[in-house]
Structure 1
């Protein structure tokens, strides 16, 4: 697969470039623990320092768009607290990355993306050999009316960017996108990196459109995550209902209680818990049984009867299938 439009730069070649040592990394490796031009600007316990970013850098030699800068974070040395005037989009190409924003700590995973507002203090922990963090720095003039035209209706991303562009806003926002499984974002960013290494004839227009597609895809990622959260939130009342009514409830009665289609409820439970409605009821029943075995002196037969088992033989067989021992043996554990 080739990147950069008409160029010959492949994704395999891009990977080799990203994993090779840039000049700053070579300095770190040559003089372990020595000072470097960036860290020297910071006091060890001082406030975040405003820094300027110069491009092109030796990893991304070209800057096809004046309002975009690509930077590969230097490995083998932490980046102290700092701020800058750019809106920053960070992409963890590989490995993991300790990241601190406003005193809150995060560990980024491969494929995750963050957007950081201008003038927001942040720092990065020491990156190892396979930890490749790419920062896309975007100046505010990039976000024109034409850019926002791509967003139909409101979105968390467009709201974030609108806030970032406002002189009256507090510039301390941070968005994290758990995009590890997204197939488009790596491709879009690979192509953008290729344009900054070996630009094609229409590199600026390509970069413009890649950024628009990237932000649209981030909206998709955010909305899918919010949908998953809402489904989990909707699931909790159902699980509590099973917990309270496991002796009498059925799939039909539970679905009716929450005004859901039984088939939808079955699919939701299986997807979010890995268990069917019947298996969840059985699990709750055994929670109650084992609690009574440990906390009461009731006979095994009485506990079985109270929990809906009329046949002691059937109960003993099910209990052994579930726990690998008899109820009496479980009670003695």
Structure 2
């Protein structure tokens, strides 16, 4: 454990853990009855931090109405996931990101105490405040937006954090802040969580890097997707070791489209997702996608879809 203040904060959150607003409501799903955990914090809280400390937990299998990020803070535990109906071993330092309504339960039966820390984010808050900054990563956007079209998708993200990851430090700060709540705690926590999500997005990209055995076309397209807000033909050529002129001739052979058309496809598909599933303004979406001004975005969108973005927002 790191420091008296942090230890005291964990102890306090652990004492409060059994007394959170555990409200499991029954909801029918595909002919079955499911338990849906409602928001665990106060109604006026958009984000919160919780911690379990102990050597035994047999949590009821349930779904939840919010996004959550759980950490194996100290020791190991098992996460029971509805995905493939399996138990996932969470080793110390592991991170588990869950969607709203994904099936989940904590399991632990250990000789020593373990600490499980959780960062919880209201669904509406996540879509409004946190989706935009990660929207350049198409795979992450699809993960976080999937619950809006498939309420019980049961997807999750799981990976191990390096010991020197800044995520650990951010989590410690959030634990201390939430355990010692002040009037402005929500204002303090929300940017910390944004930083954490950005680091998680980076770790996710690093853990899902394209290997050399993938077809060149997949590597090129995936790199463009991940950098679609800033990518240029010269950037793409430099990353893969090609001359821009050679690459400009290669892309039509691989995709049947030139660089500009490919980039427009990627940006417009992201624009449609953001307009359909978030409350981001058109100006904000234009900026997220890499457009220097909303006027250029309007023109591109209307040319691509035959309608204005405002007709969907």
User: TM-score if structure 1 supplies the norm length?
Assistant: 0.52
Which residue matches 1:114?
A: 96
Which residue matches 2:211?
A: 230
- In 1, the alpha carbon distance for the partners of 2:163 and 2:138 equals 21
Which residue matches 1:51?
A: 37
Contact 1:112-1:180 within 8 A present in 2 as well = no
Which residue matches 1:328?
A: none
Gap runs ≥5 in structure 2: 27-31, 215-240, 242-313
Which residue matches 1:252?
A: none
The range that moved more, 172-181 or 211-220, is 172-181
Partner residue of 1:14 out of 6, 23, 35: 6
Cα 1:182–1:223 shift into 2, 3 Å: farther
Cα 1:127–1:198 shift into 2, 3 Å: farther
More strand by share: 2
- In 1, the alpha carbon distance for the partners of 2:77 and 2:150 equals 32
Which residue matches 1:98?
A: 78
Of structures 1 and 2, the larger Rg is shown by 1
Contact 1:19-1:132 within 8 A present in 2 as well = no
Alpha-carbon RMSD: 3.5
Q: Deviations over 1:113-139 (max 9, x none)?
A: 111111122222125443111122211
Matches within 5 A, 1:116-131: 116-128=98-110, 129-131=112-114
Report the CA distance between 1:97 and its aligned residue.
Answer: 0.8
Gap runs ≥5 in structure 1: 1-9, 28-36, 57-62, 235-259, 261-333
Which residue matches 1:89?
A: 69
Report the CA distance between 1:94 and its aligned residue.
Answer: 0.7
Which residue matches 1:278?
A: none
- In 1, the alpha carbon distance for the partners of 2:128 and 2:196 equals 17
User: TM-score if structure 2 supplies the norm length?
Assistant: 0.55
Which residue matches 1:207?
A: 189
Cα 1:167–1:99 shift into 2, 3 Å: same
Cα 1:54–1:224 shift into 2, 3 Å: closer
- In 2, the alpha carbon distance for the partners of 1:126 and 1:178 equals 19
Matches within 5 A, 1:171-190: 171-190=153-172
Which residue matches 1:219?
A: 201
Report the CA distance between 1:200 and its aligned residue.
Answer: 5.2
Partner residue of 1:68 out of 26, 47, 61: 47
- How many residues are paired up? 203
